[in-house]
Amino acid sequence: MSRPEAPINISVTFRHTESTDALKNYADEKLTSCLKKYIGHPADVHVVLLVEKRDHIAEVRVHSKGHDAQAKAVNVDLYAAIDKVSDMIDSQLRKQKERTIKSKHQG
């Protein structure tokens, strides 16, 4: 029997660039697959995609019960910035989960 999936609320904000469904869907898919591995509670995720001169920046903030993470990635392409920031969030959440498991086993 599998546990029910917790809702993940992802909001995407665009600054200094046009909002596209392709970018929204890409960010949603990347972050949802990343977060499902580590978060079993409802989560709020805020993604900011912005362009400043030649830099394409992706910022992500994750807030959930027992899990908080934020990351910022700069690249020449928004898709690559989303990939990079999702890897950073994945790494942070993995470390938090490992610390939690380790502290439970030591007690």
What are 46-99's pLDDT values in tens digits?
A: 999 999 999 999 999 999 887 889 999 999 999 999 999 999 999 999 998 888
CATH of the domain spanning 8-106:
3.30.160.100
State how far the Cα of 104 lies from the Cα of 107, in Å rounded to an integer.
Answer: 5
Contact call for residues 5 and 57 (beta carbons, < 8 A):
no
Contact call for residues 50 and 18 (beta carbons, < 8 A):
no
pTM for the whole structure: 0.87
State how far the Cα of 43 lies from the Cα of 8, in Å rounded to an integer.
Answer: 5
Residue 19 has pLDDT above 50, yes or no: yes
pLDDT, position 107: 57
pLDDT band at 3 (very low <50, low <70, confident <90, very high): low
